Structure 1
Amino acid sequence: MIWVVYGLPFVHPNSILVVTINGAGFFIELIYLILFVIYSDKKKRLKIVLISIVEIIIVGVMTALVLSFAHTTKLRSSIVGMIAIVCNVMMYASPLSVMKMVITTKSVEYMPLSLSVASFANGIAWTIYALHPFDPYIAAPNGLGTLFALIQLILYATYYKSTKEQMAARKAKNTVGLTEIVFNGKVAQLPHNGPAQNK
């Protein structure tokens, strides 16, 4: 929402791509949230609805204040741009907790590769877009986002093999759990290797 406000002609002129792309992203995220609210339990539903309402109010108040008290597009761009930087850095930094878990567990099981690749591509695309003409408010957070995504990809490459080994070991452990069966009314002991032997 903040990037849509930033790209408006009376905030930051000549930013049609910022408005259209982030506007489309806003509607996709809105659909995602609606689906989440429909299918989640009551407690989670209430939490998400309240957070969404607070966010809408904050962005609405910010937009009204900027348009009322900042009378040039340069000043409006600076104010909204700084707020957008903070929000974007928070978004890109959110996987840091997952990255810590990856290093601790030596497993990338809970860090999807597709999300890391998409973040990396997104960061590169917006950083390149921001270079000509140079727009520090788009370049700074997306440059940092590219770096975070690159670190995720390096972690993925580093711990991919150990993740496969851990998952294979877990699968093997689950399949070897049964050691006894009932055969013709008698309990038969199953050794790990070899046929069943009657007790």
Structure 2
Amino acid sequence: MALHLAWAFVFGVLGNVVSFLVSLAPLPTFYQIYKKKTSEGFQSIPYVISLFSAMLWIYYALLKKDAMLLITINTFCVFIQTFYLVAYFYYGPKKEKVEAVKLILLFNVFGFGAIFFSTFFLRNPLTRLQILGYICMAFSLCVFVAPLGILRKVIKTKSVEYMPFTLSVFLTLGAVMWFFYGLLLKDMNIAVPNVLGFVFGILQMILYAIYKNHPNKMVQDPKLQLSSHHMVVDVAKLGSTVCLEVNAVAPHPNETNTNHDHDGNNGDASNKV
């Protein structure tokens, strides 16, 4: 095995480990849902997008044929995101179930189906792989831009309540691993998005260091979430995105301050990770 392929394997394995851990980050959120017996106040879109991203990267890796480590982590992401969605449906109110179904149809059925059928039957395999690679890269870049809203909110409120440091560290590490994996494989579709992921990860940690000692303020926008940020975790998107994804959840708009005091932490469940 050539030296650069050996190093690509090493970084790919490390990327799998980090992405695996990040994919488990929403578990505290679903434990909270289990205790409350309702998913009301939580959104399904982070899990839908994470599942969509994992499906894209599996399709890309299968066509590429030499990216088995992309397949392994994204297969796990498909499994875990499906588990999250099943749990969400089990405890979700009817209205939120309908919204989740619409999102699944939009992204995972029609969206993925359109991409698959518009590329799979192209005669030139290289053209097919190139087009699909551009689609995956564009989607990952969009996912990595999502934390801009969180960075703005942190600066505005001088609070890191919705930006857990541990998660930011793992997302940054994942971006580094997958960047070198893509670089050593000479696959810019994997490497390029993770440059952006690394930059945003460093910015988050810098902001955390600046504002970590500031008292938490009540965030005025109760629907603020880190969901898009976590999609990025899903392998090359972190993955991911992410994968990706890892999903922070804000308090429900109708929850009172008393309820906030009772729960002790009414914000991002990922803070417990």
Asked if Structure 1 and Structure 2 have the same fold, meaning a TM-score greater than 0.5 normalized by the shorter chain, the answer is yes
The answer to whether the aligner puts 1:135 opposite 2:187 as a matched pair is yes
1:90/1:37 CA distance change after superposition, 3 Å: farther
Mapping of residues 25-174 of structure 1, within 5 Å: 25-56=77-108, 57-72=110-125, 74-163=126-215
Cα drift, residue 110 of structure 1: 1.2
Tell me by how many angstroms 1:64 deviates: 2.0
Are residue 6 (structure 1) and residue 94 (structure 2) matched?
Answer: no
CA–CA separation in structure 1 for the residues paired with 2:164 and 2:123: 42
CA contact (8 A) 1:109 1:163 kept: no
Q: Distance in 1 between matches of 2:145 and 2:78?
A: 20
SS of match in other structure, 2:214: helix
% identity of equivalent residues: 33
Tell me how far apart the structure 1 counterparts of residues 142 and 82 of structure 2 sit (CA, whole Å): 19
| Secondary structure of the structure 2 residue equivalent to 1:29 | helix
How far off its partner does 1:131 sit? 1.4
> Of the two, which has the highest radius of gyration?
1
Give 1:34 deviation, angstroms.
1.7
Deviation (angstroms), 1:70: 4.2
Q: Distance in 2 between matches of 1:70 and 1:24?
A: 31
Moved over 2 A (4+): none
Structure 2: how far apart are the matches of 1:141 and 1:62? Answer: 20
- Structure with more strand by fraction: 1
Counterparts of 2:202 and 2:78, CA distance in 1: 25
**Structure 1 residues 71-101: Cα deviation after superposition (integer angstroms, max 9, x where no partner):** 22x2122111111112112222222211111
Query: Under a length normalisation based on structure 2, what TM-score does the superposition of the two structures give?
Result: 0.57
Structure 1 residue ranges without an equivalent (≥5): 168-173, 175-199
Contact persistence 1:89–1:141 (CA under 8 A): yes
CA RMSD of aligned residues (A): 2.0
Which secondary structure does the structure 1 equivalent of 2:64 belong to?
coil
- Please give the TM-score of this superposition, normalised by the length of structure 1: 0.76
Q: 1:70 to 1:101 in 2, by over 3 A?
A: farther
Letter paired with 1:15: A
CA deviation profile, 1:103-130 (whole Å, cap 9, x unmatched):
0000001112232122111111100111
Which residue in the other structure is 1:193 paired with?
none
**Does structure 2 conserve the Cα–Cα contact (< 8 Å) formed by 1:37 and 1:49?**
no
CA separation in 2, counterparts of 1:163 and 1:118? 24
Q: State the distance in 1 between where 2:95 and 2:141 align.
A: 28
Instruction: Provide the C-alpha distance between the structure 1 equivalents of 2:212 and 2:106, rounded to a whole number of angstroms.
Output: 39
* 1:17-42 deviations in Å (ceiling 9; x for gaps): 11111121121112112212222222
State whether residues 106 and 162 of structure 1, in contact with CA within 8 Å, keep that contact through their aligned partners in structure 2: yes
Checking the alignment, whether the CA contact within 8 Å between 1:108 and 1:163 is kept in structure 2 is no
Mean CA deviation greater in 149-158 or 86-95: 86-95
Distance 2:201 2:103 in 1: 26
Q: Does 1:17 align with 2:80?
A: no
